[in-house]
């Protein structure tokens, strides 16, 4: 009997210890979290509380609509001319114009680094010339590239377009070129030489 009572005593005592331990653990964890965040009950009491007052003022809707009508120009006053920053120029890659020549020379050199005469076209005695128009933005990025006059052979047209695309991006426009876009006409001639 004594053993039963002792066993019951420890069993009841064990049941009490678990909730007490759990409660102590929660209190310790809350204390650690508060300590790591720099919050203490004493600092909350000492801190000055600030109050800010913000007034939001908005004019009545009628006044907003009236001001909007006054600021919008009548349709007859809107200029139909494009702003200066959207102007463009169309030039030849072989231009001698002193404004564009140094820039087109750099472009031509870059394209020629990628331009090849396809071996299969040479072996089949295919030759011809074509004209391509490509468009550049001020940053030198290729915007568009189209064949204006075909050579009559897809393989030659394809390799000329490929050379322009591989050369992209081109150098940005120098300061003396003030347009926003350049349309450049480039002619490519594939000619076989026989010895």
Q: Verify that 127 and 176 share a domain, yes or no.
A: yes
pTM: 0.55
151 CB-near residues (< 8 Å, 6+ apart): 128, 129, 130, 157, 160, 188, 190
| pLDDT confidence band for 128 (50 / 70 / 90) | very high
Residues 92 and 177 in one domain: yes
Is there a domain that residue 173 lies in?
Answer: yes
Looking at the 3D structure of the chain, how many domains does it have?
2
pLDDT per residue as tens digits for the range 156-192: 999 999 999 999 999 999 999 999 999 999 999 999 8
Supply the range of the domain harboring residue 106. 87-190
Question: Residue 76: which pLDDT band, with cuts at 50, 70 and 90?
Answer: very low
Same domain assignment for residues 35 and 99: no
Asked whether residue 16 is domain-assigned, the answer is yes
**Whether 171 and 106 share a structural domain:** yes
Give the residue, 81 or 100, on which the prediction is more confident. Answer: 100
**Residue 141 contacts residue 169 (beta carbons within 8 Å):** yes
Is residue 79 in some structural domain?
A: no
Do 180 and 93 sit in the same domain of this protein? Answer: yes
Establish if 51 belongs to a structural domain.
no
Is 62 part of a structural domain of the chain? no
Rounded Cα gap, residues 26 and 126, in angstroms:
87
Q: Judge if 178 and 126 occupy the same domain.
A: yes
Gyration radius of the chain over CA positions:
40
How remote is the C-alpha of 151 from its chain's centroid?
37
Same domain, 151 and 96: yes
For residue 88, the cross-strand partners are 181
pLDDT band at 77 (very low <50, low <70, confident <90, very high): very low
Instruction: CATH number of the domain at 101, please.
Output: 3.30.1150.10
């Amino acid at each position: 009997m004594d053993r039963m009572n002792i066993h019951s005593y420890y069993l009841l005592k064990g049941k009490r210890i678990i909730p007490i331990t759990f409660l102590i653990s929660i209190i310790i964890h809350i204390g650690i979290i508060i300590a790591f965040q720099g919050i203490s009950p004493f600092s909350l009491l000492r801190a000055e509380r600030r109050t800010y007052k913000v007034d939001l003022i908005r004019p009545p809707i009628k006044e907003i609509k009236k001001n909007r009508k006054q600021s919008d120009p009548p349709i007859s006053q809107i200029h139909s001319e494009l702003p200066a920053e959207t102007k463009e120029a169309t030039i030849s890659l072989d231009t001698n114009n002193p404004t564009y020549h140094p820039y087109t020379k750099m472009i031509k050199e870059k394209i020629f680094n990628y331009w090849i005469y396809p071996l299969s076209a040479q072996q089949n005695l295919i030759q011809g010339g074509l004209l391509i128009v490509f468009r550049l933005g001020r940053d030198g990025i290729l915007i568009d590239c189209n064949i204006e006059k075909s050579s009559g052979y897809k393989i030659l047209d394809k390799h000329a377009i490929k050379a322009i695309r591989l050369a992209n991006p081109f150098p940005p426009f120098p300061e003396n070129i003030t347009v926003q876009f350049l349309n450049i006409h480039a002619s490519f001639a594939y000619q076989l030489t026989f010895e």
